Amino acid sequence: MSVHNITDTDITTLLSENEKVMVKYYADWCGSCKLIAPKYRRLSEDERFNGIEFLEVNAEVNENARRVAGVDNLPFFAVFKNGEFIEGTATSKVEKVEELLNKLN
């Protein structure tokens, strides 16, 4: 799988159309967001996480998408199942992102 960049207009539809979703919230100025981006991309290609839709959204310009997960810091990762928010955390550690992903399996 790959990572799809989305906006406020996409998030509701994508959350309802996909059973398992991981969303990365970032900002262009965020250094930690840039550092974790390649690791997040690799996770999206990891066969352990097949069936999970990987999304990313610019939190600076997509207020509604940010509000859906209660984003309070960046980078922020959130998991959704059947359109419902399960859990989210602000982290730059790939191990924490994997923990969230494992909650979907």
Tell me the residue range of the domain where 34 lies: 3-102
What span, in angstroms and rounded, lies between the C-alpha atoms of 52 and 81? 10
Tens of pLDDT, residue by residue over 32-67, are: 999 999 999 999 999 999 999 999 999 999 999 999
Sheet containing strand 3-6, strands side by side: 3-6, 52-58, 20-26, 76-81, 84-90
CATH (domain of 29):
3.40.30.10
Output the pTM of the full model: 0.95
- The band of 105, judged by pLDDT with boundaries at 50, 70 and 90, is confident
Secondary structure E strands in 8-91: 20-26, 52-58, 76-81, 84-90
Q: What pLDDT score was predicted for residue 1?
A: 66
Q: What is the number of structural domains in the chain?
A: 1
